[in-house]
Amino acid sequence: MTKIADQKLSGSGERNFRWAKAHMGTLTTLAEKYAKSRPLEGLKLGVCLHVTKETSVLIDALLLAGADVKLAGANPLSTQDDIAAYLSTRTDVWAWRGQSAKEYGWCIGEVLGTHPEQLIDDGADLHVAAHVARARGIAGGSEETTTGVMRLKALEAQGKLRYPVIAVNDARTKFMFDNRYGTGQSTFDGIMRATALLLAGVKVVVVGYGWVGKGVAMRARGLGARVTVVEVDPVKALEAHLDGFEVSSIEEAANEGVLFVTATGQKNVIPYEAVERMKEGAILVNAGHFDVEIDVKTLMKKAKKVKEVRPNVDEIALPSGRRVYLLAKGRIANLVAAEGHPPEVMQMSFANQMMAAIRIHSEHDEMEKKVYGVPRDLEDEVARAALKSMGVAIGSPTQEQKLYARSWKL
Protein backbone atom coordinates (compact mmCIF):
# COMPACT_ATOMS: atom_id res chain seq x y z
CA MET A 1 0.00 0.00 0.00
CA THR A 2 2.82 2.37 -0.88
CA LYS A 3 4.06 4.01 -4.04
CA ILE A 4 7.39 5.81 -3.94
CA ALA A 5 10.35 6.30 -6.29
CA ASP A 6 13.05 4.07 -4.82
CA GLN A 7 13.12 2.09 -1.58
CA LYS A 8 16.93 1.98 -1.67
CA LEU A 9 17.04 5.68 -0.73
CA SER A 10 15.70 5.00 2.76
CA GLY A 11 19.15 5.12 4.44
CA SER A 12 19.73 8.63 3.14
CA GLY A 13 16.17 9.52 4.16
CA GLU A 14 16.77 8.30 7.70
CA ARG A 15 19.95 10.41 7.98
CA ASN A 16 18.08 13.50 6.80
CA PHE A 17 15.21 12.73 9.19
CA ARG A 18 17.71 12.60 12.08
CA TRP A 19 19.39 15.85 11.00
CA ALA A 20 16.04 17.68 10.90
CA LYS A 21 14.90 16.11 14.18
CA ALA A 22 18.03 17.34 15.96
CA HIS A 23 17.03 20.90 14.97
CA MET A 24 13.33 20.69 15.83
CA GLY A 25 13.38 20.67 19.63
CA THR A 26 9.95 22.29 19.96
CA LEU A 27 8.29 19.47 18.11
CA THR A 28 10.40 16.67 19.57
CA THR A 29 9.66 17.80 23.15
CA LEU A 30 5.95 17.57 22.32
CA ALA A 31 6.54 14.24 20.61
CA GLU A 32 8.20 12.79 23.72
CA LYS A 33 5.33 13.99 25.90
CA TYR A 34 2.66 12.50 23.63
CA ALA A 35 4.57 9.29 23.05
CA LYS A 36 3.73 8.55 26.69
CA SER A 37 0.07 9.63 26.82
CA ARG A 38 -0.70 8.58 23.18
CA PRO A 39 -3.64 10.97 22.65
CA LEU A 40 -4.10 9.87 19.01
CA GLU A 41 -4.20 6.12 19.75
CA GLY A 42 -5.87 4.33 16.85
CA LEU A 43 -6.89 7.50 14.99
CA LYS A 44 -6.90 7.04 11.21
CA LEU A 45 -5.18 10.18 10.03
CA GLY A 46 -4.92 11.17 6.35
CA VAL A 47 -2.02 13.53 5.69
CA CYS A 48 -1.12 15.59 2.61
CA LEU A 49 2.08 17.59 3.20
CA HIS A 50 5.28 18.29 1.28
CA VAL A 51 7.27 15.11 1.89
CA THR A 52 10.41 16.69 3.34
CA LYS A 53 12.82 15.89 6.15
CA GLU A 54 10.90 18.31 8.41
CA THR A 55 7.58 16.63 7.61
CA SER A 56 9.16 13.26 8.48
CA VAL A 57 9.73 14.58 12.01
CA LEU A 58 6.03 15.48 12.29
CA ILE A 59 4.99 12.09 10.92
CA ASP A 60 7.28 10.42 13.48
CA ALA A 61 5.61 12.46 16.26
CA LEU A 62 2.10 11.58 15.04
CA LEU A 63 2.98 7.87 14.85
CA LEU A 64 4.49 7.95 18.35
CA ALA A 65 1.28 9.64 19.59
CA GLY A 66 -0.62 6.58 18.35
CA ALA A 67 -2.03 7.78 15.01
CA ASP A 68 -2.40 5.47 12.03
CA VAL A 69 -0.95 7.82 9.37
CA LYS A 70 -1.41 7.61 5.59
CA LEU A 71 0.67 10.12 3.66
CA ALA A 72 0.55 11.78 0.22
CA GLY A 73 2.73 14.66 -1.04
CA ALA A 74 1.30 18.19 -1.33
CA ASN A 75 2.90 19.04 -4.68
CA PRO A 76 3.88 17.00 -7.77
CA LEU A 77 7.49 18.23 -7.61
CA SER A 78 8.27 18.77 -3.91
CA THR A 79 8.75 15.22 -2.62
CA GLN A 80 12.21 14.35 -1.30
CA ASP A 81 12.40 10.77 -2.53
CA ASP A 82 14.79 9.62 0.19
CA ILE A 83 12.36 10.85 2.86
CA ALA A 84 9.44 9.13 1.12
CA ALA A 85 11.51 5.93 1.13
CA TYR A 86 12.36 6.24 4.83
CA LEU A 87 8.76 7.02 5.83
CA SER A 88 7.51 4.06 3.83
CA THR A 89 9.41 1.81 6.26
CA ARG A 90 7.11 3.15 8.98
CA THR A 91 3.74 3.74 7.29
CA ASP A 92 1.94 3.91 3.92
CA VAL A 93 3.21 6.64 1.59
CA TRP A 94 2.09 7.68 -1.88
CA ALA A 95 4.62 10.28 -3.03
CA TRP A 96 7.44 10.69 -5.49
CA ARG A 97 9.11 13.61 -7.17
CA GLY A 98 8.05 14.48 -10.70
CA GLN A 99 4.40 13.42 -10.78
CA SER A 100 1.90 14.31 -13.47
CA ALA A 101 -1.21 16.16 -12.30
CA LYS A 102 -3.11 12.89 -12.69
CA GLU A 103 -0.66 10.90 -10.56
CA TYR A 104 -0.74 13.62 -7.92
CA GLY A 105 -4.54 13.38 -7.71
CA TRP A 106 -4.33 9.58 -7.64
CA CYS A 107 -2.08 9.68 -4.54
CA ILE A 108 -4.59 11.89 -2.72
CA GLY A 109 -7.33 9.48 -3.73
CA GLU A 110 -5.33 6.58 -2.27
CA VAL A 111 -5.10 8.36 1.10
CA LEU A 112 -8.87 9.01 1.07
CA GLY A 113 -9.43 5.40 0.09
CA THR A 114 -8.03 4.33 3.49
CA HIS A 115 -11.10 6.02 5.08
CA PRO A 116 -9.33 8.52 7.34
CA GLU A 117 -11.23 9.97 10.30
CA GLN A 118 -9.21 13.16 10.37
CA LEU A 119 -7.04 15.10 7.90
CA ILE A 120 -3.90 17.25 7.89
CA ASP A 121 -3.45 19.17 4.65
CA ASP A 122 -1.25 21.79 2.98
CA GLY A 123 -3.06 23.70 0.23
CA ALA A 124 -6.46 21.99 0.79
CA ASP A 125 -6.29 19.54 -2.14
CA LEU A 126 -7.00 16.68 0.29
CA HIS A 127 -9.82 18.62 2.00
CA VAL A 128 -11.38 19.49 -1.35
CA ALA A 129 -11.12 15.88 -2.58
CA ALA A 130 -12.71 14.76 0.70
CA HIS A 131 -15.56 17.23 0.17
CA VAL A 132 -16.13 16.03 -3.39
CA ALA A 133 -16.56 12.58 -1.85
CA ARG A 134 -19.00 14.11 0.71
CA ALA A 135 -16.46 13.80 3.55
CA ARG A 136 -18.04 10.63 4.86
CA GLY A 137 -16.53 9.55 8.20
CA ILE A 138 -14.28 12.60 8.53
CA ALA A 139 -14.62 14.36 11.89
CA GLY A 140 -12.30 17.29 11.26
CA GLY A 141 -8.92 18.45 10.11
CA SER A 142 -6.29 21.14 9.93
CA GLU A 143 -4.69 23.24 7.22
CA GLU A 144 -1.08 24.36 6.91
CA THR A 145 -0.97 27.22 4.44
CA THR A 146 -2.52 30.57 3.43
CA THR A 147 -3.91 29.29 0.12
CA GLY A 148 -5.55 26.28 1.79
CA VAL A 149 -7.12 28.45 4.49
CA MET A 150 -8.45 30.77 1.74
CA ARG A 151 -10.10 27.82 -0.01
CA LEU A 152 -11.61 26.45 3.22
CA LYS A 153 -12.94 29.86 4.28
CA ALA A 154 -14.61 30.12 0.86
CA LEU A 155 -16.27 26.71 1.48
CA GLU A 156 -17.36 27.91 4.93
CA ALA A 157 -18.83 31.13 3.50
CA GLN A 158 -20.83 29.07 0.99
CA GLY A 159 -22.12 26.88 3.86
CA LYS A 160 -20.37 23.87 2.32
CA LEU A 161 -17.72 23.07 4.91
CA ARG A 162 -18.51 19.60 6.22
CA TYR A 163 -16.31 19.42 9.34
CA PRO A 164 -14.38 21.72 11.70
CA VAL A 165 -10.92 22.78 10.53
CA ILE A 166 -8.11 24.42 12.48
CA ALA A 167 -6.24 26.97 10.36
CA VAL A 168 -2.70 26.29 11.56
CA ASN A 169 -1.49 28.95 9.14
CA ASP A 170 -3.31 31.61 11.15
CA ALA A 171 -1.30 30.98 14.31
CA ARG A 172 1.17 33.80 14.91
CA THR A 173 3.79 31.15 15.68
CA LYS A 174 3.21 29.93 12.12
CA PHE A 175 2.70 32.83 9.73
CA MET A 176 5.07 35.32 11.33
CA PHE A 177 7.94 32.85 11.13
CA ASP A 178 7.27 30.14 8.53
CA ASN A 179 5.78 32.47 5.93
CA ARG A 180 8.29 35.26 6.50
CA TYR A 181 11.63 33.80 7.62
CA GLY A 182 11.04 30.32 6.22
CA THR A 183 10.04 31.39 2.72
CA GLY A 184 12.45 34.33 2.76
CA GLN A 185 15.42 32.02 3.22
CA SER A 186 14.30 28.93 1.33
CA THR A 187 13.22 30.85 -1.77
CA PHE A 188 16.72 32.28 -2.18
CA ASP A 189 18.15 28.87 -1.36
CA GLY A 190 16.16 27.57 -4.35
CA ILE A 191 17.13 30.49 -6.60
CA MET A 192 20.82 30.09 -5.77
CA ARG A 193 20.87 26.30 -6.17
CA ALA A 194 19.06 26.59 -9.50
CA THR A 195 20.89 29.55 -11.05
CA ALA A 196 24.14 30.00 -9.09
CA LEU A 197 24.00 33.67 -10.17
CA LEU A 198 24.96 36.83 -8.27
CA LEU A 199 22.20 38.67 -6.44
CA ALA A 200 24.10 41.77 -5.28
CA GLY A 201 23.16 44.81 -7.34
CA VAL A 202 20.45 42.91 -9.20
CA LYS A 203 16.98 44.41 -9.60
CA VAL A 204 14.60 42.01 -7.81
CA VAL A 205 10.85 42.50 -8.14
CA VAL A 206 8.77 40.93 -5.37
CA VAL A 207 5.10 40.60 -6.30
CA GLY A 208 2.98 40.57 -3.13
CA TYR A 209 3.79 42.04 0.28
CA GLY A 210 2.00 39.66 2.63
CA TRP A 211 4.09 37.72 5.14
CA VAL A 212 5.81 35.70 2.40
CA GLY A 213 6.50 38.74 0.23
CA LYS A 214 7.90 40.59 3.25
CA GLY A 215 10.31 37.78 3.96
CA VAL A 216 11.42 37.52 0.34
CA ALA A 217 11.90 41.31 0.00
CA MET A 218 13.81 41.49 3.29
CA ARG A 219 16.21 38.68 2.31
CA ALA A 220 16.67 40.09 -1.21
CA ARG A 221 17.72 43.38 0.33
CA GLY A 222 20.06 41.55 2.70
CA LEU A 223 21.77 39.96 -0.29
CA GLY A 224 22.41 43.38 -1.79
CA ALA A 225 19.69 43.30 -4.42
CA ARG A 226 17.82 46.46 -5.45
CA VAL A 227 14.25 45.58 -4.50
CA THR A 228 10.93 46.73 -5.94
CA VAL A 229 7.64 45.58 -4.43
CA VAL A 230 4.49 45.22 -6.52
CA GLU A 231 1.37 45.30 -4.33
CA VAL A 232 -2.29 46.12 -5.08
CA ASP A 233 -3.48 46.35 -1.47
CA PRO A 234 -3.07 50.03 -0.49
CA VAL A 235 -2.17 49.36 3.16
CA LYS A 236 0.43 46.74 2.28
CA ALA A 237 1.81 48.96 -0.50
CA LEU A 238 2.15 51.78 2.02
CA GLU A 239 3.93 49.44 4.41
CA ALA A 240 6.37 48.39 1.67
CA HIS A 241 6.99 52.05 0.85
CA LEU A 242 7.74 52.95 4.49
CA ASP A 243 9.88 49.83 4.82
CA GLY A 244 12.04 51.58 2.25
CA PHE A 245 11.28 49.57 -0.89
CA GLU A 246 10.46 50.94 -4.32
CA VAL A 247 6.75 50.30 -4.88
CA SER A 248 5.40 49.92 -8.38
CA SER A 249 2.88 48.23 -10.67
CA ILE A 250 3.71 45.03 -12.56
CA GLU A 251 3.47 46.94 -15.85
CA GLU A 252 6.21 49.35 -14.75
CA ALA A 253 8.32 46.82 -12.87
CA ALA A 254 8.31 44.39 -15.81
CA ASN A 255 10.56 46.73 -17.79
CA GLU A 256 13.10 47.09 -15.00
CA GLY A 257 13.37 43.75 -13.23
CA VAL A 258 15.93 41.00 -13.66
CA LEU A 259 14.61 38.54 -11.08
CA PHE A 260 10.86 38.30 -10.38
CA VAL A 261 9.43 36.47 -7.35
CA THR A 262 5.67 36.00 -6.92
CA ALA A 263 4.15 35.60 -3.45
CA THR A 264 0.46 36.48 -3.67
CA GLY A 265 -1.76 33.39 -3.67
CA GLN A 266 -3.43 35.01 -6.69
CA LYS A 267 -3.48 33.97 -10.34
CA ASN A 268 -1.73 35.70 -13.26
CA VAL A 269 -0.01 38.36 -11.16
CA ILE A 270 2.72 38.13 -13.80
CA PRO A 271 0.57 38.06 -16.95
CA TYR A 272 2.07 37.11 -20.31
CA GLU A 273 2.01 40.76 -21.45
CA ALA A 274 4.38 41.61 -18.58
CA VAL A 275 6.76 38.80 -19.57
CA GLU A 276 6.81 40.12 -23.14
CA ARG A 277 8.18 43.42 -21.85
CA MET A 278 10.94 41.94 -19.69
CA LYS A 279 14.64 42.27 -20.38
CA GLU A 280 16.66 39.56 -22.06
CA GLY A 281 17.54 36.92 -19.46
CA ALA A 282 14.88 37.84 -16.88
CA ILE A 283 14.27 35.09 -14.33
CA LEU A 284 10.78 34.13 -13.13
CA VAL A 285 10.26 32.46 -9.76
CA ASN A 286 7.10 31.55 -7.87
CA ALA A 287 7.09 31.25 -4.07
CA GLY A 288 3.31 30.79 -3.72
CA HIS A 289 1.57 27.48 -3.13
CA PHE A 290 0.08 26.97 -6.61
CA ASP A 291 1.65 27.37 -10.06
CA VAL A 292 -0.90 29.98 -11.14
CA GLU A 293 0.86 33.20 -10.15
CA ILE A 294 2.98 33.43 -13.31
CA ASP A 295 0.83 32.83 -16.39
CA VAL A 296 2.86 29.75 -17.35
CA LYS A 297 0.07 28.38 -19.56
CA THR A 298 0.11 31.32 -21.98
CA LEU A 299 3.89 31.56 -21.74
CA MET A 300 4.23 27.94 -22.88
CA LYS A 301 1.69 28.45 -25.66
CA LYS A 302 3.49 31.50 -27.04
CA ALA A 303 7.03 30.17 -26.56
CA LYS A 304 9.05 29.54 -29.71
CA LYS A 305 11.22 27.07 -27.85
CA VAL A 306 11.55 25.72 -24.30
CA LYS A 307 14.66 23.96 -23.15
CA GLU A 308 15.96 22.87 -19.76
CA VAL A 309 19.37 24.52 -19.41
CA ARG A 310 20.04 23.43 -15.80
CA PRO A 311 18.06 21.39 -13.30
CA ASN A 312 14.95 23.44 -12.43
CA VAL A 313 15.75 26.14 -15.02
CA ASP A 314 13.83 26.29 -18.31
CA GLU A 315 14.96 28.70 -21.02
CA ILE A 316 11.98 30.12 -22.88
CA ALA A 317 12.47 31.78 -26.26
CA LEU A 318 9.78 34.44 -26.78
CA PRO A 319 8.36 35.52 -30.14
CA SER A 320 10.24 38.84 -29.66
CA GLY A 321 13.54 36.96 -29.86
CA ARG A 322 14.30 37.57 -26.18
CA ARG A 323 14.74 34.78 -23.70
CA VAL A 324 13.42 34.46 -20.13
CA TYR A 325 14.12 31.74 -17.58
CA LEU A 326 11.42 29.97 -15.56
CA LEU A 327 12.41 28.24 -12.32
CA ALA A 328 10.80 25.03 -11.08
CA LYS A 329 8.16 25.13 -13.86
CA GLY A 330 6.50 27.99 -11.98
CA ARG A 331 5.81 25.76 -8.99
CA ILE A 332 6.74 26.63 -5.40
CA ALA A 333 10.48 27.11 -5.96
CA ASN A 334 11.65 26.86 -2.37
CA LEU A 335 10.42 23.28 -2.20
CA VAL A 336 11.17 22.23 -5.77
CA ALA A 337 14.63 23.76 -6.25
CA ALA A 338 15.65 23.59 -2.57
CA GLU A 339 14.52 21.60 0.49
CA GLY A 340 11.71 23.84 1.75
CA HIS A 341 11.90 25.81 4.98
CA PRO A 342 14.63 25.08 7.51
CA PRO A 343 13.82 22.77 10.44
CA GLU A 344 14.05 25.51 13.08
CA VAL A 345 11.12 27.25 11.41
CA MET A 346 9.10 24.12 10.67
CA GLN A 347 9.35 23.02 14.33
CA MET A 348 6.92 25.82 15.14
CA SER A 349 4.51 25.23 12.27
CA PHE A 350 4.43 21.51 13.01
CA ALA A 351 4.13 21.93 16.78
CA ASN A 352 0.94 23.86 15.95
CA GLN A 353 -0.11 21.03 13.59
CA MET A 354 0.48 18.43 16.30
CA MET A 355 -1.59 20.32 18.85
CA ALA A 356 -4.30 21.05 16.29
CA ALA A 357 -4.57 17.33 15.48
CA ILE A 358 -4.94 16.46 19.16
CA ARG A 359 -7.47 19.22 19.76
CA ILE A 360 -9.63 18.24 16.78
CA HIS A 361 -9.50 14.60 17.86
CA SER A 362 -10.62 15.32 21.42
CA GLU A 363 -13.04 18.21 20.78
CA HIS A 364 -14.60 17.77 17.33
CA ASP A 365 -17.97 16.85 18.84
CA GLU A 366 -18.23 20.27 20.46
CA MET A 367 -16.93 22.13 17.38
CA GLU A 368 -18.96 23.57 14.53
CA LYS A 369 -18.36 23.22 10.80
CA LYS A 370 -16.14 26.27 10.80
CA VAL A 371 -12.55 27.35 10.24
CA TYR A 372 -11.01 27.89 13.68
CA GLY A 373 -7.86 29.79 14.63
CA VAL A 374 -5.24 28.49 17.06
CA PRO A 375 -5.94 29.60 20.66
CA ARG A 376 -3.54 32.23 21.99
CA ASP A 377 -2.35 30.11 24.90
CA LEU A 378 -1.25 27.39 22.47
CA GLU A 379 0.65 29.99 20.44
CA ASP A 380 2.39 31.14 23.60
CA GLU A 381 3.29 27.57 24.49
CA VAL A 382 4.84 27.05 21.05
CA ALA A 383 6.73 30.37 21.24
CA ARG A 384 8.14 29.51 24.68
CA ALA A 385 9.28 26.09 23.54
CA ALA A 386 10.84 27.57 20.38
CA LEU A 387 12.72 30.19 22.40
CA LYS A 388 14.04 27.45 24.66
CA SER A 389 15.15 25.37 21.67
CA MET A 390 17.02 28.40 20.33
CA GLY A 391 18.72 29.08 23.67
CA VAL A 392 16.90 32.36 24.32
CA ALA A 393 15.74 33.14 27.87
CA ILE A 394 13.08 35.77 28.62
CA GLY A 395 11.64 37.12 31.87
CA SER A 396 7.98 37.44 32.88
CA PRO A 397 5.95 40.42 34.10
CA THR A 398 5.97 40.99 37.86
CA GLN A 399 2.78 40.73 39.93
CA GLU A 400 2.89 44.52 40.25
CA GLN A 401 3.03 44.92 36.44
CA LYS A 402 0.16 42.51 35.89
CA LEU A 403 -1.98 44.51 38.35
CA TYR A 404 -0.91 47.81 36.78
CA ALA A 405 -2.10 46.66 33.34
CA ARG A 406 -5.52 45.92 34.81
CA SER A 407 -5.72 48.92 37.12
CA TRP A 408 -7.21 51.50 34.76
CA LYS A 409 -10.67 52.63 35.84
CA LEU A 410 -13.13 55.37 34.96
Residues binding ligand RBV (CB under 6 A): 50, 52, 54-55, 122-123, 144-145, 178, 182, 289, 332, 335, 340-341, 346, 349
Three-state secondary structure call for residue 34: helix
Q: In whole angstroms, how close is the CB of 134 to ligand RBV at the nearest point?
A: 26
> What is the Cα–Cα distance from 313 to 234, expressed in whole angstroms?
34
Least separation in angstroms between residue 225's CB and ligand RBV is 22
Nearest distance in Å: CB 211, ligand RBV: 10
Nearer residue to ligand RBV within complex by CB, 204 or 212 = 212
Cβ–Cβ contacts within 10 Å for residue 125, how many? 22
Q: What is the distance between the alpha carbons of residues 158 and 372, in angstroms, rounded to a whole number?
A: 16
Q: Which is nearer to ligand RBV, 116 or 148 (CB)?
A: 148
In whole angstroms, how close is the CB of 219 to ligand RBV at the nearest point? 15
192: helix, strand or coil: helix
Closer to ligand RBV by Cβ: residue 323 or 341: 341
Given a contact cutoff of 8 angstroms between Cβ atoms, the answer to whether 279 and 304 are in contact is: no
Which of 305, 330, 332 minimizes the C-alpha distance to 318? 305
The answer to whether the beta carbons of residues 236 and 209 sit under 8 Å apart is yes
Q: Which of 171, 199 has the CB closer to ligand RBV? A: 171
Q: How many CA atoms lie within 13 A of 142 on its CB side?
A: 25
Q: Which is nearer to ligand RBV, 181 or 245 (CB)?
A: 181
- Closer residue to ligand RBV, CB minimum distance, 26 or 349: 349
Q: Cα separation of 349 and 144, whole Å?
A: 8
Q: CB of 182: closest distance to ligand RBV in angstroms?
A: 6
CB atoms within 10 A of CB 35: 15
Q: Which of 173, 50, 54, 72 is nearest to 119 (CA)?
A: 72
**CB closest to ligand RBV, residue no:** 340
CB of 248 to ligand RBV, least distance (A): 26
